[in-house]
Amino acid sequence: MDKSSMGVTGTVLRAGGSFVRIAALSLMLATVSACSEEKAADDAPMSEAEARYLSDEGLWRMQRHEDLTRPDGWSSLIGLHWLTLQSHYVGSGARSGIRIAIGPESLGMFQRNNGKVFFTPERGLALTLDGQPFKGRVELKDDSNGGTPTVLGFDEGKGKLTVIERGGNRALRVKHADAPTRTNFKNIDYWPADRDWRVEATFVPNPPGATLPIATIIGTTETTPNPGALEFEREGKRYRIEALDQGEETLSLILADRTSGHASYGAGRYLDVPRPDAKGKVVIDFNRAYNPPCAFTQFATCPLPPNQNRLDLAITAGEKRYGMKH
pTM: predicted TM-score of the whole model, two decimal places: 0.86
Question: CA distances (Å), 116 to each of 81, 140, 170, 267, in order?
Answer: 16, 8, 9, 32
For the chain, give the percent of residues with pLDDT over 90: 82
The single-letter DSSP state of residue 42 is H
Sorted by where each begins, the domain ranges of the chain are 18-69+186-309, 77-183
Tell me the sheet residues that pair with 225.
211
CATH of domain 77-183: 2.60.200.20
Q: What is the pLDDT of residues 127-159, one digit of tens each?
A: 999 999 999 999 999 999 889 999 999 999 999
In this prediction, residues 216-242 reach a mean pLDDT of 97
Q: Cα–Cα distance between 222 and 246 in angstroms, integer?
A: 12
Would you say 164 and 170 are in contact if contact means Cβ atoms under 8 Å apart?
A: yes
Q: What is the pLDDT of residues 274-324, one digit of tens each?
A: 999 999 999 999 999 999 999 999 999 999 999 999 999 999 999 999 986
* pLDDT at res. 325: 60
Q: What is the pLDDT of residues 199-219, one digit of tens each?
A: 999 999 999 999 999 999 999
